[in-house]
Amino acid sequence: MNLRKTFPGIHKRQLVHPGCVFVLLLTLALSLALMAITRSQPFILGDQWGDHIFYWGQADTWLRLSSPMALSTETQQNLEAFRISYYYDADNGLSLQPPYVYRVFVPLLAGSLGHLVGLGTSFSVVHFVSLTVFLLAVGLSIHQLTRSTLWSSLGMFLSLAAIPMLTNLIRFPGLVEIPSLALTALAVYFTTRGTYAVALGVAVLASLTKETLTLLGLSIAIYAILREHKVRYWLVLVGLLPIALQLGMRILVTVPSPPSTAELFVPGNPFEAIFTFVAAFGLVSPLIVGLLTRYARLWILAFTPLFLSIAVVTTSVVAGGARIWLTVWPLIVIIGLAGLWHWARTIVVRAALVILLLTGTLLAQGEVLLGWPRILQTAWFLGFIVWLALLSAIRTWNSTSLEIGSPAGRYVDRNTPTWTESP
């Protein structure tokens, strides 16, 4: 790999950009710290009810490991209860339950590694390697878009701590959420580099990790076409490949007792997509502002298919909306921070944004860990709206001023050299 081509501005004698070294070291430090925290409070996976039961069953059955998970009495009772109230069917066992049966990448990877180190250890290895890749890809992506080591470090911290639901998932090896976040962030990184072939390859793996990422490849293909102003049909074909794979698996994989479509997707409140989006990302609202900046327009336009598909899925009664929105968290934090960096051009505004984001993160974690009242989050949100309104007013005042003695109804716009008519 040509490092000077990868990181423009690198000197001839400089092997690696110092900012990238800092991001790498911080990533490894955070990953080791999280591993230590998790290992200090171990739990038996069989004592916990969750989707990991099905992924374990798939890995064990598909790779013929003969290492079934020992379920506790309470977990077994939960499984029986959900078979009645949800769509699990005893005829399918643990390895053929949709939609988990179509999430094949993590079970196959963990199962293959399980032949060497055991299934429990292999799921933990996949989990923590994915976490490291996630943080590293987020940091490098932001650095690629902003050339700011400080902003990259902020993005890595926010990606880890700003969403309490993600904090809980980090402490729970065996799920596919962390690997899916890692693959999404990695696909975005290679997209920022312009290596679209690699990004699309990662997107294919992401779609096989969680089906909500099926349109990630198509979005990357659209971004490449819009960015390069050139239609490349191979990009479109590879971008559509995840859709073909998902359809193929559903046609070829025989499920003994397939649930009806109504049981998999029960239409609910159409506004649920908005409610769950706010629930997931409300306390990182400045990042949403970053997505609305001029810098982020191309990204948002290209990734609209992915966002719309997730918005539709979150309206289902049987779907956990906020957890599904978590799938696009790498895009929110990477593009949102990059948009804010290019929008906030003074150190004062950037410092205020950092304080707002860190305060929102503190309040989010405080509610979960310490039981802080939600009224504090409401006050934070109102304060952010007031700050944004004041900043917009100041910018408008500074960019446009009336000229003394000018003809009535006319003003001088400092951004343009010519006279303009007032509305």
The answer to whether residue 115 is domain-embedded is yes
The answer to whether residue 379 is domain-embedded is no
pLDDT given for residue 222 in this prediction? 96
pLDDT given for residue 261 in this prediction? 64
pLDDT digits (tens, 9 = 90+) for 288-340: 999 999 999 999 999 999 999 999 988 887 777 788 999 999 999 999 999 99
Model confidence band, residue 410 (pLDDT cutoffs 50, 70, 90): very low
Same domain for 176 and 228, yes or no, is: yes
Q: Is the pLDDT of residue 381 over 50?
A: yes
The answer to whether residue 380 is domain-embedded is no
Average pLDDT score, the chain: 82
Same domain for 64 and 193, yes or no, is: yes
Q: Is the pLDDT of residue 38 over 60?
A: no
d(CA 157, CA 132): 12
The answer to whether residue 4 is domain-embedded is no
Beta-carbon contacts of residue 65 (< 8 Å; ≥ 6 apart): 59, 111, 114, 115, 119
Same domain for 104 and 76, yes or no, is: yes
The residue ranking higher by pLDDT, 172 or 350, is: 350
3-state secondary structure of 413: strand
Model confidence band, residue 203 (pLDDT cutoffs 50, 70, 90): very high
Q: Is the pLDDT of residue 362 over 70?
A: yes
Same domain for 101 and 215, yes or no, is: yes
Same domain for 290 and 413, yes or no, is: no
pLDDT given for residue 306 in this prediction? 97
The answer to whether residue 9 is domain-embedded is no
Q: Is the pLDDT of residue 32 over 80?
A: no
Model confidence band, residue 20 (pLDDT cutoffs 50, 70, 90): low
The answer to whether residue 381 is domain-embedded is no
The residue ranking higher by pLDDT, 379 or 4, is: 379
Cα-trace Rg, the chain: 24
Same domain for 347 and 394, yes or no, is: no
The answer to whether residue 117 is domain-embedded is yes
The answer to whether residue 316 is domain-embedded is yes
Q: Are 213 and 183 in contact (CB under 8 A)?
A: yes
The residue ranking higher by pLDDT, 78 or 208, is: 208
pLDDT given for residue 248 in this prediction? 94
Q: Is the pLDDT of residue 216 over 60?
A: yes
Q: Are 216 and 233 in contact (CB under 8 A)?
A: no
Q: Are 318 and 265 in contact (CB under 8 A)?
A: yes
Q: Is the pLDDT of residue 9 over 70?
A: no
pLDDT given for residue 150 in this prediction? 86
**Cα 222 to chain centroid, rounded:** 19
pLDDT given for residue 31 in this prediction? 65
Q: Is the dihedral of CA 143, 144, 145, 148 positive or negative?
A: positive
Model confidence band, residue 30 (pLDDT cutoffs 50, 70, 90): low
Same domain for 58 and 107, yes or no, is: yes
Number of domains in the chain: 2
Give the count of alpha carbons within 13 A of 324, CB side only.
26
pLDDT given for residue 404 in this prediction? 42
The residue ranking higher by pLDDT, 236 or 365, is: 236
Q: Is the peptide bond before 99 cis (omega within 30 degrees of 0)?
A: yes
Beta-carbon contacts of residue 83 (< 8 Å; ≥ 6 apart): 89, 90
Mean pLDDT of 32-55: 68
d(CA 341, CA 119): 43
Most confident of 84-93, 101-110, 390-399: 101-110
Same domain for 403 and 301, yes or no, is: no
The H or E element spanning position 259 is none
Segments forming the whole domain that contains residue 67: 16-372
Same domain for 304 and 399, yes or no, is: no
Beta-carbon contacts of residue 154 (< 8 Å; ≥ 6 apart): 337, 354, 357
Model confidence band, residue 24 (pLDDT cutoffs 50, 70, 90): low
d(CA 349, CA 415): 20
3-state secondary structure of 407: coil
Tokens 């008519």 belong to 421
CA dihedral 71, 72, 74, 77 (to 10 degrees): 40
Task: For the chain, give the percent of residues with pLDDT over 90.
Answer: 39
pLDDT given for residue 56 in this prediction? 93
Q: Is the pLDDT of residue 269 over 70?
A: yes
Least confident window among 227-231, 235-239, 317-321, 322-326: 317-321
pLDDT given for residue 175 in this prediction? 92
pLDDT given for residue 262 in this prediction? 60
pLDDT digits (tens, 9 = 90+) for 270-285: 888 888 898 889 889 8
Same domain for 319 and 405, yes or no, is: no
Mean pLDDT of 399-408: 47
Q: What's the order of all strands across the beta sheet hosting 410-413?
A: 400-401, 410-413, 420-421
Tokens 């997707």 belong to 265
Same domain for 338 and 391, yes or no, is: no
pLDDT digits (tens, 9 = 90+) for 91-150: 888 899 988 999 999 999 999 999 998 888 899 889 988 988 999 899 999 999 998 888
pLDDT given for residue 143 in this prediction? 92
Same domain for 129 and 162, yes or no, is: yes
Mean pLDDT of 55-75: 89
Q: Are 183 and 220 in contact (CB under 8 A)?
A: no
State the CB neighbour count (10 A cutoff) for residue 78. Answer: 16
Q: What is the DSSP string of 75-105?
A: HHHHHHHHHHHSS--GGGTTTS-TTGGG--H
Q: Is the dihedral of CA 348, 349, 355, 359 positive or negative?
A: positive
Which tokens sit at 283?
Answer: 């306390």
